[in-house]
A and B are shown apart, each in its own frame.
Chain A
Amino acid sequence: MTYTTAQIWVIIILMGVGSFLVRFSFLGLIGDKELPAWILRVLRYTPVAVLPALVAPLVMWPTATDGTPDPARLLAAVATFSAGYLSKNVFVAIFCGATTLYTMLYLFG
């Protein structure tokens, strides 16, 4: 990490203020107004667009293996995703992913 201490705090504070404003938007600033359906859709589903984009390169090129694709981590990712998708449960997904990762690392690591 190459940020100065001041830069790190700027990031934290901007994120804090920004997140508060997002949360306060309707409760405090805009109030009770009817919104177009497409705006609600975009607001609701940004994580579904952002998180997969963030995670894909981390799964493909893990930092721990210096960016070389790693079967243990790939399989753990597949297990986490499948368990989460089928069970709709965050906890089950994490458990399956971690178990797969440790088993694979133990067997082949």
Chain B
Amino acid sequence: MSVSTPKTAYLRGLRHGAPFLVILLPFSMLFGVVAIEANLTIAQAMGFSLLVIAGAAQFAAVQLMTENAPMLVIVATALAVNMRMAMYSASLTPHIGKAPLGARAAISYFLVDQGYALSIMEYEKHPNETTANKVAYYFGTISLMCPLWYVFTLVGALIGARIPEEFALDFAVPIAFLAMTAPMLRTRAHITAAVTAVVLAILFAWVPYNGGLLIASISAMCVDACVETRTEQPS
């Protein structure tokens, strides 16, 4: 086996990350379009993609903004959607926790689903690689994804207002969310949680200030944890 250097590790990450652009770029563009449709400015759409860099949370926030939800509900929902990244952060720490603080801060800023998924697979396959190589690999995975995430939000924002009504863009966000969630439902606990969330969100849709969303998602989280704990116990 050839010896890796940070440069070859970086290039390997770059190569592994490239195929994800097929999904990422349309998503990013769609975000730009949806943001403009929701009456955000181009600068605000870019602000989201540059500062938050998290598709699901960005879409969730813009959707809630069109519903005039309270600011606290918007921020809390977006952060709840992003909580999974704390888990990513925890699982990367044994591999790159010894990297310089600047590198760890940069990786944190660029911590996205696809970069994490690729890197943790790579680290588990080659646990004895140097920290420098592991860090370089991570940067490789996101080197195309993140900059193009910004660029395509801008493209979407620029063409946004020109998309005719027949394209039914109002339904782009529900379809995007369903498409993101359905593949995640791999266990009985998840399915139970998702069903709970749907039923309660509809039953409590009348609660003002998007209270129904909070009731439904918090209950669903409890159900998820509860079902998973029970199914894990030896019978």
Contact = CB atoms under 8 A, between A and B. Distances in A.
Nearest to B109: A20
B130 interface: no
A76 B194 CA distance: 18
Given A12-B47, A26-B86, A90-B23, A57 B178 contact: no
B175 to A, nearest CB: 4
- B contact patch SS: helix
Nearest to B216: A53
B107 to A, nearest CB: 6
A101 to B, nearest CB: 6
A27 B224 CA distance: 27
B179 A50 contact: no
Interface string A37-54: 010111111111111111
B136 to A, nearest CB: 16
- What is the interface residue range for chain B against chain A? 35 or more
B221 A19 contact: no
A60 B48 CA distance: 28
A70 B107 CA distance: 44
A67 B13 CA distance: 46
Contacts of B53: 19
A24 B93 CA distance: 10
Interface string B131-172: 000000000000000000000000000000000001010110
Given A28-B104, A43-B87, A15 B111 contact: no
A29 to B, nearest CB: 9
- A contact patch SS: helix
Contact of A23 (B40, B108, B198): B108
A94 B228 contact: no
A70 B79 CA distance: 31
Contact of B171 (A2, A13, A14, A64): A64
B75 A18 contact: yes
Interface in A50-109: 50-64, 73, 76-77, 80-85, 87-91, 93-94, 97-98, 101-102, 105
Contacts of A60: 202, 205
Contact of A32 (B60, B97, B201, B217): B97
Contacts of B23: 90-91
Given A1-B39, A15-B57, A18-B75, A23 B44 contact: no
B101 A28 contact: yes
A90 B23 CA distance: 8
Contacts of B229: 38
Given A7-B71, A19-B54, A56-B198, A64 B79 contact: no
A59 B69 CA distance: 18
A43 B52 CA distance: 18
Interface stretch (B1-9, B120-128, B181-189): B181-189
A50 B217 CA distance: 5
Given A28-B108, A64-B170, A91-B22, A19 B79 contact: yes
18 contacts: A3-B71, A11-B74, A23-B111, A27-B92, A27-B104, A28-B101, A28-B105, A48-B224, A50-B77, A54-B63, A58-B173, A58-B174, A80-B175, A80-B179, A81-B178, A81-B181, A97-B178, A97-B179
